[in-house]
Structure 1
Amino acid sequence: MLTLYSYPPLFGVADNNGYGLKVFAFLKLAGVPFVHEHLFDASAAPRGQLPYVTEDGETIGDSDTIIAHLTRKHGVTIDAALWSEQRRTNLLVTRMLDDLYWVMSYSRWKDDRFYPQFRDAFMAQHPQLDAAGLDKARDYNAQRYYYQGIGRYTPDQAYARGLADLEVLAELVPTEGYVHGPAPTSIDAGLYGFIANIHFYPIQTPLKAFVSAHPNLVRHCEAIHSAVSG
């Protein structure tokens, strides 16, 4: 049986990390059966990163590599009708979501205005965690942000990057249907992974305010959420 290993749920979504939620949504939209296991510690994962999947004695990490592998192995067809221009758009959007990831993470772990609310919500849903452990994770993430670069920005500078990414997504996502037509494809799963972790996030960060002000992003997110939940 295919098993997806990813971070735990939070705020009503199946994974509080955009990459794991992206793979989760892809599997659901593609109709591939799987077992979902949640981890707090990624140290044993490939490259020390979640998500990863195991199947038939094989372990695959990295969300894009996972999706490509599953598409081949399980004959997934949700992207089969896309033409080359649409596939190029998918690659560009996927790379931009990598940028948005850092700003989203910054808003939870780095920004002093929002971290206490995030920490308390995480402990409320996962009581096996404590403030000391989450503060240690915060210190670890601060090092990641510094070496990646986002940690050297002021909050306003960091959010300006994320809001610029969201502005592009708001222009890409249609008011009806999905990015490439009436049926969702893998890029919709990718968008959901990140937008859901903003939209369903009850703490009023600048990213949350932007998404809430754009009905097309909210509609798209809630449509995918309905399709993959339950």
Structure 2
Amino acid sequence: MITLYSYPGLFGVADNNGYGLKVFAFLRLAGLRFVHRHIVDASGAPRGQLPYITDGPETVGDSDTIIAHLARAHGARLDDRLTRAQRDTGLLITRLLDDLYWVMSYARWKDDRFWPAFRDALLRAHPDLTEAGLQAARAFNFQRYHYQGIGRFDPEAAYARGLADLAVLANLVPPDGYLFGPEPTSVDAGLYGFIANIHFFPIDTPLRRCVASRANLVRHCTAMHAAVNASDREEAGAQP
């Protein structure tokens, strides 16, 4: 049995981190059975980062490496029909999402305007978390932001990067269907992982306002959310 280890969910989203939600979405879309374990301490994870999976004797970290493993070991074929050009575009989108990640994280943990709402939401949703633990995580993230570089930007300059990323994504997402046709692929799972963690969070950051103003991003996000969570409804309907 595959076990996915990732951060806790929040605001109805299965993981409040874009990378973990990306893997969760891929597993659901691929129809693979798995157990989802929410954890906070990543010290035991490969390279000390979440998400990761265990699959029999194997432990696999990094969201893209996990997806490649699932395709190879379990026949997950979401991307089989993609052309070489589409795969190249998908890689460019994936790298852009890597950039967007830092701005999203900055908005939650560093910006004093939004940090209290994020902190309080986590504490309400997950009573096992403590304010002291979240403050320690915040201090750790400040160090990460400094060494990555985003922490040296003032807020408006930091958000300008994320807004530019979202503008490009909005130009690429079609008005209907998914990125490369009527069926979702791993790139859609990745896009959902990040946009859902902006759109469904009722914290009024510049990123959320931008997503709300782009009807195609909202449509894609809500369509993916419905597709990814369809099995929850099916399981609930099967119960007496």
Q: TM-score, normalised by structure 2?
A: 0.95
Structure 2 residue aligned with 1:17: 17
- Identical-residue share of aligned pairs (%): 70
Question: Structure 1, residues 144-195: CA drift from partner, whole Å, max 9, x if none?
Answer: 0000000000000000000000000000111100000011111000000000
Q: What is the aligned partner in structure 1 of residue 61 from structure 2?
A: 61
| 1:2 alignment partner AA | I
SS of alignment partner, residue 16 of structure 1: coil
RMSD between aligned residues: 0.6
Q: Compute the displacement of 1:76 (Å).
A: 1.3
1:186 corresponding residue in structure 2: 186
Task: Report the 3-state secondary structure (helix = DSSP H, G, I; strand = E; otherwise coil) of the residue aligned with 2:113.
Answer: coil
Q: C-alpha deviations, 1:116-137, integer Å up to 9, x for none?
A: 0100010000011121211111
Instruction: Specify the code of the residue in structure 2 equivalent to 1:170.
Output: A
Matches within 5 A, 1:1-230: 1-229=1-229, 230=232
Rounded to whole Å, the distance in 2 between the matches of 1:134 and 1:78 is: 37
| Secondary structure of residue in 2 paired with 1:4 | strand
CA distance in structure 1 between the aligned counterparts of 2:132 and 2:76, rounded to whole angstroms = 43
The separation in 2 between residues aligned to 1:46 and 1:183, in whole angstroms, is 32
Which runs of no fewer than 5 residues in structure 1 stay unpaired?
Answer: none
TM-score for both structures, normalised by structure 1: 0.99
* Aligned mates of 1:112, 1:135 — CA distance in 2: 13
Q: CA deviation at 1:70?
A: 0.5
Q: Equivalents in 2 of 1:53, 1:2: separation in Å? A: 7
> Could you tell me how far apart the structure 2 residues matched to 1:2 and 1:122 are?
27
- Shift of residue 226, structure 1, vs aligned partner: 0.6
| Matched AA of 1:108 | R
Q: How many residues align?
A: 230
For 1:130 and 1:51, locate their aligned partners in 2 and report how far apart those are by CA, in whole Å: 22
